[in-house]
Amino acid sequence: MERVFEIIEEQLHLSGMELSEDMSLKDDLGADSIDLVELVMALEDEYGIEMQYEELEKRVKTVGDVIEYLSEQGADV
């Protein structure tokens, strides 16, 4: 889970920010659609899985949702 936080921090340029699972990617962390595409690509590379951007847009709103989605896809988070 810590690595997921690190990837989110890196991709959204959030140095030093304390993340929590209930934080909204868009509202709390300021992610736009380009940020989310880059985040998906980084997570795919890190965990060796393929993520569907359209499904993510519908289901993933918070940091915790990212972790849950990765777990459902078989990633060892």
Question: What angle is formed at CA 16 by the lines to CA 27 and CA 29, rounded to 5 degrees?
Answer: 10
What pLDDT, on a 0 to 100 scale, did the predictor assign at position 59? 92
76 as an active site residue: the answer is: no
Catalytic residue among 22, 27, 32, 45: 32
Percent of the chain having pLDDT more than 90?
A: 83
pTM here?
Answer: 0.91
What pLDDT, on a 0 to 100 scale, did the predictor assign at position 8? 97
Percent of the chain having pLDDT more than 70?
A: 100
End-to-end C-alpha distance for the chain, whole angstroms? 5
Among residues 30, 13, 22, the alpha carbon closest in space to that of 66 is found at 22
Can you name the CATH fold of 2-72? 1.10.1200
